[in-house]
Structure 1
């Protein structure tokens, strides 16, 4: 972990935030695909957080399959947050 998150402390914070954000979105995709109980507090919290984090990408594409729609609506923001977070952390680390 020290190697991946080592270096500039600001860059480290940005990387950790980007990774946690993507993890929340990916967790919701897994919970949805495996039909997790949404009455469970943890599942409900992850769903609410994922909805908030991915609000800008909902219904960006017209997809008939509920499973694929969920993967795209939550997976796209996960990838975007990772790419932007890691790019910004890289720039911060060089300065």
Structure 2
């Protein structure tokens, strides 16, 4: 009666396999636990990055609204236009092209890129502040 299966025992594998059983490995600790200060610094850096991305998004939206000639009487257009005017970093009149729509796209697109660069650099500096 050697072919009769035995009832499961503690430590038995649940899936039949021809591979030998591997010993259990305890979980690895990847360094010291995260401190409260590190969490705060990480959260502040994330907020800075989020704010810079939202600023860049509003600038790109305004540029796209202008290029595709959105309705200037629309509330959303006016809201995005007011945000973009305050977030343009003085770059709204940097270049003067023959077509005003493309001038807006280039100038506000450049301002959006500057916001992304500043936000990423500032977030990196903030993250380095955590010991």
- Give TM-score scaled by structure 2 length: 0.64
RMSD, aligned CA: 1.4
Kindly tell me the number of residue pairs found equivalent between the two proteins.
Answer: 89
Q: Which structure has more RCO (C-alpha within 8 Å, separation ≥ 6)?
A: 1
Query: Could you tell me which of 15, 20, 23 is aligned with 2:57?
Result: 23
Q: Deviations over 1:3-44 (max 9, x none)?
A: xxxx70110110010000000000111111111111111111
State the partner residue of 2:108: 74
- Answer 1 or 2: which has greater helix percent: 1
Retained in 1: the 8 A contact 2:60–2:112?
A: yes
Higher radius of gyration, 1 or 2? 2
In structure 1, how many angstroms separate the alpha carbons of the residues matched to 2:70 and 2:95?
24
Query: Stretches of 4+ moved more than 4 A in 1?
Result: none
1:53-68 → structure 2 map (5 Å cutoff): 53-54=87-88, 56-68=90-102
Q: Could you list the runs of 5+ residues in structure 1 that have no partner in the other structure?
A: 1-6
Query: Tell me, which stretches of 5 or more residues in structure 2 are unaligned?
Result: 1-40
